[in-house]
Structure 1
């Protein structure tokens, strides 16, 4: 926490201390904490929210004010994060009590941190299961320590009129709680009860009410009965809908897969209790800690038994596990007493549904029944996904519980020193696609990063913060692209922010890049393209608070390269803030059919074989060739010979696909990364590796020739599990070999391939054993969901280098 004091205490028995607190201090009970602390110490004055955080004035004896100042940080509420405290020592003005003032909405800018949605706290949980409590079985119970935040917020400051709860007038009992600084529901903006708050309804998939007028307990019991019968329930939760079925019922799970057109991608499981999780899964103390945390993410755990439906996570030795995190989920799971599949309520490759009418239209062909409520969701917030490596978490999908909290990293402090003098770059503000204007003299300048095409998130660099949106999804669907635009619009409006520069992927055909160009023309801002894998490495640097020099190892599917090939097996040396040197990469091979090869590992494998063995590849006796008909082989052979729709790639992700095909494990992917996941899941212990070759190109950069490895795999008679392990081990040894040749101590492991826990864990161990310092992702996903923060840093370095020249338009 940064502290600044503008003047020393005045030599007087009584003084006034003005305190400005910035950070995550709204919606966490910070004002009642200040009120209680001030009254306990006998101080007079006031506290209030403003658009930037919390402002406080207290009067009293100097020594007592000093105690107040010290305890402000030490004893703050559990969910509060204080990033900065500014103080002024002033003459007293004669306050006669300590009060909580109404929020100040007239402050310049809006930089208060927005709190993520939080899981139900233990106090609220006790109340909903207490028959003597007035909130018994009330499924929307919350307090200042838990409940919806970001998903219901419509504007800053975080007050009830600026949330979707403004539609519900509090009853006298709730109002009394809300106004009592000694109550844990003091200014809990979603505060409500069964008398005055949101309520449940049960619908069939035509929108007809089932048991109208029934109590919440009766409706939850009915919903539970439908699940026991094997039916699919669509439940409206915190940031969107869940599809819920009995996780023990193979037929029900398969029916959900068939209706959702999701044949094999793993499904998340929600357990009623931690005890039941421990029966089915292995969980370390750190993994359990995250399951029980206020963020309550999905945590990937190793399977212990086969007690659940086999089709929940076929071809995988891990489950995505979570515990109930809203009162509604707690009540339903307590009724059922068994685990359920709880997967995103959307159609395949579309965004999660948040509106009742929208859900009925888009999910009615999948769900049999809908458990609805009438509290509006302001924005979709999916479940976050986490795995633990080396006793530290890695977030794979950053959403509920984490977004849009700022990243706690040092590079954001640098960014604030650049942006203020760029404010004149744009004369007007319009948050595209909205037509509402904000005067430029009211706007806070920012860098906007629009992310990539898959697993999209966006980011804002605003003052001393990097804010990352929730997971949005793949932009190749119209509804997801619309959500992407809407998210940018709302974030800019929430923070009254004006982009002076827009960072995007260097791929000109990405919808996000095209959007950046359109928005830049509207806002008179500059577009700064950042190469995809460079953004990955920069993201890892932001996540780990690193400065150059760094060796970044960016391994993923494919990204737009700077040499007319598709990159994905990159070693990038970042020596300073002037860009990168591509010091090593995988030997390229052709992708048969371009993007289609990502969906069909057999095509990647055939391209690999052709690159290695030319015409002799078509005489190979291996599962890859057997996966095609004779006519298909003839067509593909012609494509390769004539180089028709066969772009070259250096992608490790596609190499994973190819190896999975060559050993007969997977010939077609039903979801991104399926073949790589299967390779990891079948690993059998071995320390052996395959041969490989390193050579230097004309520019002196290292090229990793995989041909010796492929030849050895084709002749290997061991099991698929042993081959998979040796393949992984070989990749790790290549990492170490290149690290030695480049000679940079700090090594960043980034990109979607490092979601592979075996690859990541072994790479960390081997690099450490060889004297290197490996870094990997924690707050930011290693996949494409994490490139937006990297784009921010890349754009900042460009602006810093040219000293604002790009913005003098």
Structure 2
């Protein structure tokens, strides 16, 4: 027995330490080590006072960080000695304190843990098939919290009083639901109901779930109240149901996400170990996976042969055999999908038309698990909204806003306090690449290398997020959406008010995009605080720098759609040198004109026409060249995308330079090439042309052998009239026009050639900065192939390369970049 004198310590834990079972863990650990004292939630984090001998206290402090529950993340553990009292004989959890400044420590919503899933499927368990079970390791968190600290009375669970059985678990230190704030069961927790389109209840409880599954099998569209709001569900194998959903939602082509289990995912897609790990994260995100079907997608189809077969035919004609490069990872299937009704291996082509990827997510809640298991096959699970609007969170709101879309509404009586769309990620360059950051990842703070002054950032106009600076942490909101919609704009305004209210801080300045007409900027102006304007592409670069803890100097390749440039022009293909003196543009892309301005963004055929026209005016071009269109000639495939009247009017605009603003955007170049290859003359959703071009290039990589080369052409670096180096895409385009695509294999090879030419241009321009570190940022780097080729080329040239991974490279990361850039403008 130890004879060490009794000591007492106060330990303060900060980070993701509330709502993750930290207090029960602390209590059990202290009791194991014979320590007395208490643990409590406070607005600043978790506070512990522990009393015992010196050796036990040392072991306690060490094991706190080494053995913390998996959802927890301890960013800081500070200790202060206190005078021992000798008046306590046990260790206990004491009521939370809600005074003082709150700490950003609410965990994201977490998918069900293995223990809860065992209970869910055990007929002998009292929570068998109960769709709202959870414990300290899993369940809803951010979607249900009203205020901090995270205790039941400050969540959407406040109205559900614990039954005696749940109360015993909640108060038992040996139980995994000890002080689990979301504890409930069928006797005391939320309940399901299935409503018709008029809000009349058709069934309740487990009967509601079973009837919803039956109607899904019959082709109905069901609006499901999920973790962060409503989703629209349909049978993914029923073409008529998926087509009906597209028609009703006015979403003709944008891919739908799928709800699936791991076995289904491996049947449908080629899944790597890294992708499996991403699917299995507690966040349960949507992950983009390459489907197993072998035909080329993302191109027009000129016959029954796949690209792989066509490549073999061509190889045989040349006297060579071409083997397929598929890079398969064939995983075992220990639990094959049952062959009963709904257990379809194939999904409807309307789920993700003309694209080689499927967006799959595993169940994010017990309710999703039950639905999927009962249905027996993959389900379309898309956002519960009309196009452009935020998702619905309330069942009565859903009845009104989803009228005419959903046939049935599977609802429950636990409130969703803030909309949280599904997060979207993919694996690129062997790392996670976040495309949309929302449910499952928000509000986990981004740790920063330096403290921030009191700042609030309002983000951009598209894919809007807002962000709050709190010392060495930045807190990003969930994905809010495009601010063209008035409801989304209102949601953005609410988020700007909620972040400081919920997490504390007293922002005295607002960081905004330099564009004067963004809706986010108008919201900022209405708040009456001083504004700090951050150039759009600088914000992209600084978001990546903040994520990786980078300090200047470095070079940023900011390649995206369109952002306001610092010369008042339209930028989007920039090389920015960022150092202690500030930032400057050291290179860019030759501008591409946009006939009709904003219309050209929606109609890639217009940018394609401008690209052809301007390439013909390039010094050295010869209208008599074989295959060259000449000054007023247009390739036959592109000509077919216009009426004669349209074509004449647009050529006149280009000739007279009327309403044809120039833009240095790489994103618009993707549009032009996609339209020239006949892939996407008109965008039916944002980014469609670029996605189809990436798909075609991917088909070249996946289905064509190395001895079937892509056409070789470069994007040289030239100087414009001002002396600014420009990446000149026109020679590459002229090469394309000399070698037009006649079939799918040609389109795939030319699409790959374009990606490779862009990547080859990156090191040449990067050398101008004479810096060892390069940052890749902007929406174009959502493209996996472009990102991987650029990383490969730049590393080969000797550069250290960084790119966004857990923060989106698109405009969803702007708010973080605005914070990180504005800190140098704002006084402490």
TM-score by length of 1: 0.91
| More moved, 539-548 vs 20-29 | 539-548
Candidates 789, 792, 800, aligned match of 1:765: 792
2-structure distance, mates of 1:381, 1:191 = 22
Report the secondary structure of 2:506's partner residue: strand
Correspondence for 1:424: none
Q: CA deviation at 1:687?
A: 5.4
Q: Does 1:310 align with 2:302?
A: no
Question: Mapping of 1:293-304 within 5 angstroms?
Answer: 293-304=281-292
**Aligned residue in 1 for 2:752:** 725
Distance 1:449 1:674 in 2: 29
Distance 1:330 1:691 in 2: 51
Give the corresponding residue for 1:430: none
1:644 CA drift (Å): 3.3
Higher mean alpha-carbon deviation, 701-710 vs 670-679, is at: 701-710
1:14-93 equivalences under 5 Å are 14-93=6-85
- The whole-number CA distance in structure 2 between the counterparts of 1:691 and 1:398 is 36
Report the Cα distance in structure 2 between the residues aligned to 1:287 and 1:570, rounded to whole angstroms: 31
The residue aligned with 2:771 is 744
Distance in 2 separating the partners of 1:58 and 1:281? 52
Equivalent pair of 1:25/1:112 in contact (CA under 8 Å):
no
Q: Note the C-alpha offset of 1:181.
A: 2.3
Q: 201, 218, 237: which one pairs with 2:226?
A: 237
User: How far off is 1:700 after superposition?
Assistant: 4.1
Bigger RCO of structures 1 and 2 (CA < 8 A, at least 6 apart): 2
1:5: which partner in 2?
A: none
- Equivalent positions of 1:269-668 (< 5 A) are 269-271=258-260, 273-305=261-293, 307-410=346-449, 413-415=450-452, 419=453, 446-519=454-527, 521=528, 525-576=529-580, 578-613=581-616, 616-668=630-682
In 1, Cα distance between equivalents of 2:613 and 2:722: 26
User: What is the rounded CA distance, in whole Å, between the counterparts of 2:30 and 2:291 in structure 1?
Assistant: 51
Superposed CA deviations along residues 392-436 of structure 1, whole A, max 9, x for unmatched, are: 1111110111011001342xx332xxx3xxxxxxxxxxxxxxxxx
CA deviation after TM superposition for structure 1 residue 37, in Å: 0.8
C-alpha distance 112-12 of structure 1, shift in aligned 2 (>3 A): farther
CA distance in 2, matches of 1:72, 1:462: 25
Q: Secondary structure of 1:164's match?
A: coil
1:311-349 CA distances to partner (integer Å, 9 max, x unpaired)? 111121111011112111111111011111111111011
Aligned-residue offset at 1:769: 1.2
Cα distance in 2 between the residues matched to 1:627 and 1:541: 42
Aligned Cα root-mean-square deviation (Å): 1.6
Within-5 A mapping of 1:701-720 = 701-718=724-741, 719-720=746-747
Aligned position for 1:7: none
**How far did residue 34 of structure 1 move?**
0.7
Q: Deviations over 1:473-498 (max 9, x none)?
A: 00000011111111121111102322
- Partner of 1:762, secondary structure, is helix
Deviation of 1:617 (Å): 4.0
SS at match of 1:301: strand
Aligned residues of 1:234 and 1:369 also touching (Cα < 8 A): yes
Residue 723 of structure 1 and its aligned partner are, at CA, apart by: 0.8
Q: Is the 8 A contact 1:622 1:663 kept in 2?
A: no
Distance 2:749 2:524 in 1: 46
Which of 89, 94, 109 lines up with 1:96 in the alignment? Answer: 89
Match of 1:217 in 2: 206
1-structure distance, mates of 2:32, 2:380: 48
State how far apart, in whole Å, the 2-side matches of 1:276 and 1:12 are. Answer: 59
> CA offsets, 1:293-318, max 9 Å, x none?
11111111110138211111112111
Query: Larger deviation: 526-535 or 712-721?
Result: 712-721
Deviations 1:714-750 (Å, cap 9, x if unpaired)?
A: 1114511111111111000111211223222111111
Residue 595 of structure 1 and its aligned partner are, at CA, apart by: 1.5
2:105 and 2:61 map into 1 onto residues whose CA distance is: 21
Scaled by the length of structure 2, what TM-score is found?
Answer: 0.89
Question: What is the alpha-carbon distance in structure 2 between the residues aligned to residue 33 and residue 698 of structure 1?
Answer: 67
Number of residue pairs the alignment of both structures matches: 750
CA–CA distance in structure 1, aligned partners of residues 430 and 607 of structure 2:
35
Question: What SS class does the counterpart of residue 95 from structure 2 fall into?
Answer: coil
* 2:170 partner SS: helix
1:31·1:100 contact (CA, 8 Å) conserved in 2? Answer: yes
Query: 2:397 is paired with a residue of what secondary structure?
Result: helix
| 1:505–1:530 CA contact under 8 A, matched in 2 | yes
Given the alignment of the two structures, is residue 784 of structure 1 paired with residue 811 of structure 2, yes or no? Answer: yes
Match of 1:177 among 158, 161, 169: 169
- 1:641 CA drift (Å): 3.7
